[in-house]
Amino acid sequence: MSSREFAVNVEPAPPADPAESAAVETVSGPPADFAALAASRREWVLTVLRPWCRAATRRDLRLAEGAWADLAGDVGTRETLWAWAWERFPALCEPGLAPPSESRAVRVTLTDGTTVAGTPDGRRSVRGELWLVGDGPSGWEERGPFALDQIARVEPADGPAAGPHPPPRSITMPH
């Protein structure tokens, strides 16, 4: 398998030691009923998949996006995979809204030390790229994209240079 492939439906290699196989079978078995199956799936999503999304690189998230139906079932990647990935920056999250939330201006510190302020543009911020809208010398200006892996820290911004409250619906449409 090349480094660009993502194995999803690959059977695990059989254990080299038969005793290891017996130990695995006695430790866990199939869920007893549908309720137990659903509970184990929910637990896996909450304890494995969601935390993985919060820590994974943008490259790995994009690989997972292609196999998302196999990993998470028939749910949208924007509402799960990418929303969970943005949760690593709580300032971009607002209950009831898919991150990055447009509800507040933020200050973004990139891994190279650069700081950029503005209000997230949820329409343009897709697939692990953050776009901001801010007040510039000649009016509203777009800032970005900033890849998820380029972002070191996001915090709420203070002051008028950070952007409007609430943010504009679209900077491309006339007001």
**Ranges of each domain in the chain:** 30-88, 91-162
Q: Are 133 and 140 in contact, with CB atoms under 8 Å apart?
A: yes
Three-state SS at 35: helix
pLDDT in tens, 88-144: 999 999 988 889 999 999 999 999 999 999 999 999 999 999 999 998 898 899 999
Pairing label, strands 129-136, 115-120: antiparallel
Q: Which CATH class is domain 91-162?
A: mainly beta
pLDDT in tens, 10-47: 344 444 444 444 444 444 788 889 999 999 999 999 99
CA torsion sign for 81, 84, 89, 91 is: positive
Q: Are 61 and 148 in contact, with CB atoms under 8 Å apart?
A: yes
Instruction: Give the separation between CA 92 and CA 125, rounded to whole angstroms.
Output: 11
Distance of CA 104 to the CA centre of its chain: 19
